[in-house]
Amino acid sequence: MRTRRVHDHVHDPEGTQGYVVLVDRLWPRGVRKEALRHDLWAKDVAPSTKLRTWFHGLTGQEQSERFDEFVRRYREELSAESADALGQLVEQLRGEQEVTLLFGVRDVEHNHAQILAEVLRRRLR
């Protein structure tokens, strides 16, 4: 299970491997739909609008400081209101040798795709 920024994928699609899943609730800004090669858009497992706007409304330093709180809240969403969508995604990914989760934010360390990848790895064992 790998994660990769959407814009890196668009500019270098050969660097993306396996089954490609866009995991953002909103379509990435500045990217035409025909320019983004992907197998699935799993927007229902992305953070809720409320959680996304809370986290992305913080400054860069605040985001780093509050990332643990974001992780806790997002995991709660995945086990509650997004549980069905997460279960469906797990079933779709079962048997795939390689999976790449695409995300739109710039921060490659502090984002929901990292959390989702960890959750999916555990579920797919």
pLDDT at 44: 97
* pLDDT single digits (tens) 4-38: 999 999 999 998 999 999 999 999 999 999 999 99
At CA 20, angle to CA 73 and CA 122, rounded to 5? 45
Give the SS3 label for residue 22.
Answer: strand
pLDDT at 92: 96
Name the residue with tokens 């806790």: 72
pTM, 2 dp: 0.94
CB atoms within 10 A of CB 32: 9
